[in-house]
Structure 1
């Protein structure tokens, strides 16, 4: 265990000795402050501000009309009923929704911005093994009296820690940007649990969504790690991973009408689709099913990565 920790420490120091890593940190900080300012500026260009009570009252007739529709599936019907219950609860108890033009509104959007971290994690994961070959340092690395699987594990764990640290940086600067540009406006999330409308903890929900969004970061990062380990090319790994990251969901949408679509990785990586009033990309998907699918893919990625690094002639 001590050797593995030392290997992780060495990989961590190597990672942060690169200028590119610090550039990523600076970019995240600038992006978060910039996005907050841009969001505020765009909001200021909109003159009309609709009262939330009027909006809720306007939704109720539409929801009641949809519920009366006999052509709805069971899931769609339940969704409309839950939404109607939430809108009625807001009006009866004077509970405003979280405004997008507020501190809490911007902070609530931070989990969706983790795609920025996914991009940087892919770059690091793709190059952490492949760069050893391209720079010719792999032979020196393997002269150490350490088993190859430990070397690869230290690199994999370093990528995971990097993703977590970068997510924290994004979150911190996102919160700073929120408090710089937005005002505090009362508002609360509501959920329907077992037929009852409940008030949701703001920070609890944000942290939950952030944690679930990190799953997608780890999965795409593991994919890039595998490609970089197998083909020893960081550019190939980055290209394929980024392509799948942006196109995976679109491809899944196109294939959604087929039964096998639910087994596609990108139909399952977004676990936030099961939280609140979100809906699964494919009807019938559940969080336990998605977790199992993700685990199967990740295990396959890791098996291929370790087999490639341990069994093949990596010193060639």
Structure 2
């Protein structure tokens, strides 16, 4: 199994896009940091991280989905799937190794983004402590207009954002991975993966608004996924009948179903063509 993971890691590192995506994120962080510095001169790097995380982390999710969408379907597109299956490993081991490498890439891309945001923000603005109270620079308001994050430290806010984002990242990447394992066309798999990401940004919000009127809407994965993504962006909202715990539980059920479909289908699929 270790050799399979090492082989998949090597194949991923040989792709040009694997190294291009971090460079794109780095360029975006530079542009955003410079822009915020000019508009808000007294902003420090920790406050900057909390401010631009929604954009930088969206790019992390976007590029991770592209990688996950192509990791299996590309083997069929290039005709290399037979070379994998003749090796002395079971199909589920081959698929699991690909999934592990995809998650590793997504996590490393997240860590890279956070580190670069902190360093670049510190160089362009100033380095600050994660124990600072961020309610004045990044206030969160309730429907009545009162500040809900009064006294909250930057470390607490960042930890909450990263927790919700990790759930969103794993779930979105897993959907893309499932699509990749079901389709033979790499272009189609990537297209569907990106389509699901952007559709959820629109349809997820609409579905979430309908949860208040029709409670069964909360069981459609787009509603809890959008709910989690809003919390990951630091824009948490109160939704009747839906809590973070319930949203995560619903996503966990869908996650198990999607992963089961991916492995069952890959076990049984015909690779004679």
Q: TM-score range by the shorter chain?
A: 0.7 to 0.9
Once the two structures are TM-superposed, the CA of residue 109 in structure 1 deviates from its matched residue by 2.7
Corresponding position of 1:71: none
The aligned counterpart of 2:143 is none
Q: Determine the structure 1 residue equivalent to 2:224.
A: 268
Gaps of 5+ in 1: 45-98
Q: Name the larger-Rg structure.
A: 1
- Find the aligned partners of 1:162 and 1:215 in 2 and give their Cα distance: 15
Of 126-135 and 104-113, deviating more is 104-113
Query: Which residue of the other structure, out of 152, 155, 172, is the alignment partner of 2:115?
Result: 172
SS in structure 1 at match of 2:151: strand
8 Å CA contact 1:107–1:178 kept in 2: the answer is yes
**1:302 and 2:259 are equivalent in the alignment:** yes
Q: Could you tell me which residue of structure 2 aligns to residue 105 of structure 1?
A: 47
Any idea what the Cα deviations from partners look like across 1:149-181, whole Å, max 9, x if unmatched? 000000011110000000011111111221122
Shift in Å, 1:234? 2.4
Task: Output aligned runs, 1:1-316, within 5 Å.
Answer: 4-43=1-40, 101-112=43-54, 113-183=56-126, 187-189=132-134, 199-255=151-207, 256-257=209-210, 258-269=214-225, 270-271=227-228, 273=230, 278-280=236-238, 282-316=239-273
Counterparts of 1:250 and 1:272 in 2: how far apart (Å)?
12
Secondary structure of the 1:199 match is coil
RMSD over equivalenced CA pairs, Å: 2.6
**Over 6 Å off, 4+ runs:** none
3-state SS of paired residue (1:220) = helix
Cα distance in 2 for residues equivalent to 1:179 and 1:185: 8
Identify the range of structure 1 (266-275 vs 29-38) with the bigger mean alpha-carbon deviation.
266-275
Distance 1:198 1:115 in 2: 26
1:204 to partner: Cα distance: 3.6
The Cα shift of 1:143 comes to 0.6
- Compute the displacement of 1:110 (Å): 4.7
Structure 2 unaligned blocks of 5 or more:
141-147
8 A contact 1:129–1:228 mirrored in 2: yes
Instruction: Output one character per residue of 1:83-107: Cα deviation in whole Å (capped at 9) or x when no partner.
Output: xxxxxxxxxxxxxxxx7x3322111
CA distance in 1, matches of 2:191, 2:78: 20
| 1:33–1:173 contact (8 Å) kept in structure 2 | no
How far apart are 1:15 and its partner, in Å?
A: 0.2
Q: Does the residue aligned with 1:305 lie in a helix, a strand or coil?
A: helix
CA contact (8 A) 1:138 1:315 kept: no
**What TM-score does the superposition give when structure 1 sets the normalisation length?**
0.73
d(CA) in 2 for partners of 1:307 and 1:152? Answer: 11
State the secondary structure of the residue aligned to 1:32: helix
Name the TM-score, length of structure 2 as normaliser.
0.83
**Equivalent residue of 2:86, what SS?**
coil
